[in-house]
């Protein structure tokens, strides 16, 4: 039987645009299972949408319909700790509420135009849409008006027009530009969609129009700065927050950001609202500046008109857009006043008639469109060709990002020692640094972190794995600040070249102790030996574990981010372990084995969401290649179990932790910080605990380790 549901969400129209992607994916994943209605802000965005039932949409409360309030609030917090994108967060929220998994099927929202909207443009010619302002309660998101004006001149030098759009509703502001077609206050949401659809592209901040451009698969230059993390907003193929479908982006955006370049946005976005104090709002930019009299965050000032013009030109160079014709012209639109007000008041752009002429080539409804009089205004003595040549600076706004290694290039800045806001140098491609560019000592010294980590690596295998061992060790040492690591190494049947490398690091003082085994003594017995060494006891609050195929090369600041996770969740959530959490169902004999262990406290088995239940049958655990665990939990829960050899230890640790009353939290779930399992699985395969042959494993372990 078809289930009738109404999805409600009443925040900004941009949020509604993003919600359209979830509705599409729900309808395509479960055809016929749901009849979907919506009750949101900006209902005009749902016009022509084939995935919803318009008869049950809106604010009517009809019978036999389940109303579900869609939320993404937790995503604002979670994106500080994992590369999650806004788009699939509604999917996650629905799964948490209803227990129904809806995969992300396409990496963009889902807007639908009528045939007239698709085929009849509001403006003739080639043009880019510019959104110069935004909501007055978020001025920290705005770019300098003078910079926008330079971009207008640069577009004109290329033979391209510029159309300025935006709202004049209460709480919105859009500084007017010269030499543009000014449609500020003259478009509703449908007009804006139509305008973007027929444009060469869009230049704007992080706003509703950006999500529209993604849905309509149009080029977009997003001026993001450091307020919001790029992985939360950017529609780029490098964004793992859009996995596994990010490669399906046909027209990736150019997302100009500064994450990782200033102290205030070193690890993620700052999310501040204001540049200077307004209306007693205390959410203020820490590094304000002024550009032509306009207060501006330094992160936004670091984005220059040359970067934007270069990003524009890249769309023509890579043939995403057809070549610019010398005869390209842009004409004033013909937008008649609406015959009647819309059924619902649009939240962002009102259905307003054309205002009287403003002297910028705009006016009332025209009988015949005419060419806009775009007068190029360049610096004295500079020709259009010279202006554009100076803008030819290679900046790929969606490539490798310094400090995270997620293949995203920011606008780079050079900063003098001890100054966070030095004059920006010419942009350049970010290069991987041998040591992370910034660490906040305060977070390392937080009492929940403890200042120093004890890290354990277990090396195994012949000389063909030497370079793997070398990468594991050197990337770890290169990404941890001096004095923050007590490193200990175990080895099983290790080749001579890797042994020599380990011994040299011991000699240099990088490794505190080496636990050498010339035969393979298996993973978990050696782990137990290292954890319980009476001559070298663990004295730190947290322990890090690395298999030798876990490489710290994807984010130089991975340990800083882990510290943030610990500060956020250790005390509040009783979280004593962080890692890539998985779920496993033990068989009947395996459950009996677990229930008979000395550390087992008869806590009920769990559901896949981690909740204990009478009908539970699951074990939740962290993948064994890399994790962080408190030394207190190791002692209290007797981790690892002494009767485990090479297989099943990570699962057992998960159950030991749970039985001891401790919690786990996700970290590195997408291998975005530490590249685990970087080579195919090696080593022996031994019987799992509670299965046939496990007693032989126990005998081997006890003989090798002399328990």
Q: Please give the structure tokens belonging to residue 35.
A: 């009849």
pLDDT tens digits for 164-221? Answer: 998 877 677 888 899 999 998 888 899 999 999 999 999 999 999 999 999 999 999 9
With beta carbons less than 8 A apart as the criterion, state whether 524 and 501 touch: no
Q: Please give the structure tokens belonging to residue 380.
A: 């004295």
Indicate whether 320 belongs to any domain. yes
My answer on whether 631 and 661 are in the same domain is: yes
> Beta strand 127-130 with 161-164: parallel, antiparallel or unpaired?
parallel
Average predicted confidence (pLDDT) for the chain: 81
My answer on whether 125 and 94 are in the same domain is: no
pLDDT tens digits for 657-692? Answer: 999 999 999 999 888 889 998 888 777 777 778 787
pLDDT at 328: 57
Indicate whether 409 belongs to any domain. no
pLDDT tens digits for 608-661? Answer: 888 999 889 999 999 999 999 999 999 999 999 988 888 888 999 999 999 999
Mean pLDDT of all residues in 56-61? 71
Among the candidates 98, 123, 151, a domain finishes at 98
Residue 522 zone, left/alpha/beta (φ > 0; ψ -120 to 50; rest)? left
My answer on whether 562 and 494 are in the same domain is: yes
Q: Please give the structure tokens belonging to residue 672.
A: 């975005």
Among the candidates 98, 126, 148, a domain finishes at 98
pLDDT at 332: 53
Cα angle 157-160-166, degrees, rounded to a multiple of 5: 120
Place of tokens 């159950």: 655
Q: Sign of the C-alpha dihedral, residues 358, 362, 364, 367?
A: positive
pLDDT at 705: 60
Indicate whether 617 belongs to any domain. no
**How many domains does the chain divide into?**
3
With beta carbons less than 8 A apart as the criterion, state whether 412 and 397 touch: no
Q: Please give the structure tokens belonging to residue 634.
A: 């190791």
Indicate whether 157 belongs to any domain. yes
**Residue, of 482 and 567, whose pLDDT is higher:** 567
pLDDT at 267: 82
Residue 159 burial (CB < 10 Å; 0-12/13-18/19+)? middle
Indicate whether 619 belongs to any domain. no
- Nearest-CA neighbor of 678 among 499, 545, 546, 485? 546
pLDDT at 681: 75
pLDDT tens digits for 514-525? Answer: 999 998 888 999
- Which residue range forms the structural domain that includes residue 293? 115-389
**Beta carbons within 8 Å of 425's beta carbon, 6+ residues apart:** 412, 413, 414
Does the structure show a pLDDT above 60 at 411?
no
Q: In what order do the strands lie in the sheet with 619-630?
A: 513-517, 485-494, 453-461, 542-547, 619-630, 575-584, 663-666
pLDDT at 372: 30
Among the candidates 344, 371, 389, a domain finishes at 389
> Beta strand 663-666 with 575-584: parallel, antiparallel or unpaired?
parallel
Mean pLDDT of all residues in 309-323? 92
CATH of the domain at 222: 3.40.50.2000
**Residue, of 689 and 297, whose pLDDT is higher:** 297
Indicate whether 474 belongs to any domain. yes
**Highest mean pLDDT (candidates 283-292, 406-415, 518-527, 539-548):** 539-548
Cα 134–chain centre separation: 23
Cα 180–chain centre separation: 34
Within 10 Å of residue 613's Cβ, how many Cβ atoms?
12
pLDDT at 48: 94
Does the structure show a pLDDT above 70 at 350?
no
**Residue, of 233 and 406, whose pLDDT is higher:** 233
Does the structure show a pLDDT above 90 at 360?
no
Residue 701 pLDDT level (bands cut at 50, 70, 90):
low
My answer on whether 94 and 123 are in the same domain is: no
Mean pLDDT of all residues in 108-132? 93
Does the structure show a pLDDT above 70 at 425?
no
Comparing 76-85, 209-218, 265-274, 401-410, the range with the smallest average pLDDT is 401-410
CATH of the domain at 530: 3.90.550.10
My answer on whether 234 and 346 are in the same domain is: yes
My answer on whether 163 and 299 are in the same domain is: yes
My answer on whether 126 and 36 are in the same domain is: no
pLDDT at 218: 97
My answer on whether 574 and 654 are in the same domain is: yes
Indicate whether 519 belongs to any domain. yes
Can you tell me the distance from the alpha carbon of 329 to that of 307, in angstroms, rounded to the nearest whole number? 24
pLDDT at 266: 82
pLDDT tens digits for 156-165? Answer: 988 899 999 9
pLDDT tens digits for 372-400? Answer: 323 333 445 544 444 344 433 222 332 23
My answer on whether 215 and 253 are in the same domain is: yes
Residues in the chain: 707
pLDDT tens digits for 140-152? Answer: 889 999 999 999 9
My answer on whether 94 and 119 are in the same domain is: no
pLDDT at 199: 96
- Nearest-CA neighbor of 382 among 155, 128, 146, 157? 157
pLDDT at 22: 97
My answer on whether 204 and 315 are in the same domain is: yes
pLDDT at 345: 21
Does the structure show a pLDDT above 70 at 531?
yes
Indicate whether 238 belongs to any domain. yes
My answer on whether 66 and 139 are in the same domain is: no
**pLDDT > 90 in the chain, percent:** 56
Can you tell me the distance from the alpha carbon of 49 to that of 27, in angstroms, rounded to the nearest whole number? 11
pLDDT at 532: 94
Residue 439 pLDDT level (bands cut at 50, 70, 90):
low
pLDDT at 169: 74
Mean pLDDT of all residues in 71-91? 88
Q: How far apart are the first and last CA of the chain?
A: 60
Does the structure show a pLDDT above 90 at 21?
yes
């Amino acid at each position: 039987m078809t289930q009738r549901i109404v999805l409600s969400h009443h925040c900004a129209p941009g949020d509604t645009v993003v919600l359209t992607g979830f509705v599409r994916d729900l309808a395509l994943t479960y055809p016929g299972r749901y009849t979907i209605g919506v009750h949101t802000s900006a209902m005009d965005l749902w016009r022509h949408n084939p995935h919803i039932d318009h008869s049950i949409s809106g604010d009517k409360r009809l019978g036999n319909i389940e109303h579900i309030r869609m939320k993404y609030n937790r995503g604002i917090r979670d994106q500080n700790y994992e590369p999650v994108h806004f788009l699939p967060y509604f999917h996650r929220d629905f799964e948490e509420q209803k227990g129904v998994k809806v995969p992300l099927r396409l990496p963009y929202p889902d807007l639908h135009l009528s045939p007239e909207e698709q085929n009849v443009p509001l403006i003739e010619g080639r043009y880019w849409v510019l959104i110069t302002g935004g909501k007055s309660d978020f001025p920290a998101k705005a770019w300098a008006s003078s910079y926008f004006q330079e971009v207008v001149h640069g577009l004109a030098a290329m033979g391209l027009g510029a159309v300025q759009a935006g709202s004049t509703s209460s709480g919105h502001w859009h500084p007017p530009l010269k030499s543009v077609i000014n449609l500020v206050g003259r478009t509703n949401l449908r007009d804006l969609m139509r305008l973007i659809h027929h444009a060469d592209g869009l230049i704007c901040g992080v706003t509703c129009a950006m999500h529209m451009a993604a849905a309509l698969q149009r080029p977009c230059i997003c001026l993001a700065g450091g307020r919001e993390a790029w992985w939360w907003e950017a529609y780029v193929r490098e964004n793992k927050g859009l996995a596994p479908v990010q490669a399906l982006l046909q027209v990736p955006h150019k997302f100009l950001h500064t994450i990782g370049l200033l102290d205030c946005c070193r690890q993620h976005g700052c999310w501040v609202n204001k540049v200077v104090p307004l209306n007693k709002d205390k959410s203020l930019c820490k590094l304000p500046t002024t550009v032509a009299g306009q207060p501006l965050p330094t992160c936004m000032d670091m984005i220059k008109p040359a970067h934007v013009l270069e990003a524009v030109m890249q769309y023509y160079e890579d043939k995403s857009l057809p070549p610019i014709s010398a005869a390209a012209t842009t004409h004033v639109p013909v937008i008649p006043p609406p015959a009647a007000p819309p059924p619902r008041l649009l939240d962002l752009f009102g259905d307003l008639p054309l205002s009287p002429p403003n002297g910028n080539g705009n006016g009332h409804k025209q009988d015949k469109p005419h060419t806009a009089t775009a007068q190029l205004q360049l610096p004295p003595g500079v020709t259009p060709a010279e202006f554009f040549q100076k803008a030819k600076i290679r900046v790929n706004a969606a490539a490798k990002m310094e400090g995270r290694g997620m293949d995203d290039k920011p606008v780079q800045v050079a900063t003098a020692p001890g100054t966070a806001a030095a004059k920006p140098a010419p942009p350049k491609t970010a290069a991987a640094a041998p040591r992370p560019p910034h660490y906040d000592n305060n977070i390392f010294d937080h009492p929940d972190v403890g200042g120093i980590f004890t890290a354990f690596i277990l090396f195994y295998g012949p000389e063909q794995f030497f370079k793997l061992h070398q990468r594991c060790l050197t990337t770890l040492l290169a990404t941890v600040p001096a004095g923050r690591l007590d490193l200990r190494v175990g080895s099983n049947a290790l080749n001579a070249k890797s042994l020599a490398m380990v011994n040299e690091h011991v000699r240099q003082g990088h490794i505190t102790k080496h636990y050498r085994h010339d035969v393979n003594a298996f993973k978990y017995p050696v782990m137990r030996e290292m954890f319980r060494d009476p001559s070298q006891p663990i004295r730190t609050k947290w322990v890090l574990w690395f298999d030798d195929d876990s490489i710290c090369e994807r984010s130089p600041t991975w340990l800083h981010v882990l510290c943030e996770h610990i500060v956020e969740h250790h005390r509040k959530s009783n979280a004593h372990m962080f890692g890539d959490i998985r779920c496993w169902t033990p068989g009947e004999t395996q459950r009996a084995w677990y229930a008979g262990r000395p550390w087992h406290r008869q806590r009920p088995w769990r559901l896949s969401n981690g909740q204990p239940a009478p009908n539970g049958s699951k074990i939740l655990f962290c993948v064994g290649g890399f994790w962080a665990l408190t030394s207190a939990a190791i002692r209290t829960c007797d981790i690892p179990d002494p009767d485990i050899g090479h297989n099943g230890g990570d699962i057992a640790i998960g159950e030991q932790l749970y039985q001891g009353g401790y919690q786990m939290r996700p970290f590195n779930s997408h291998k975005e910080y530490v590249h685990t399992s970087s080579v195919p699985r090696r080593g022996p395969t031994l019987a799992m605990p509670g299965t046939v042959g496990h007693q032989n494993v126990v005998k081997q372990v006890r003989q090798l380790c002399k328990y």
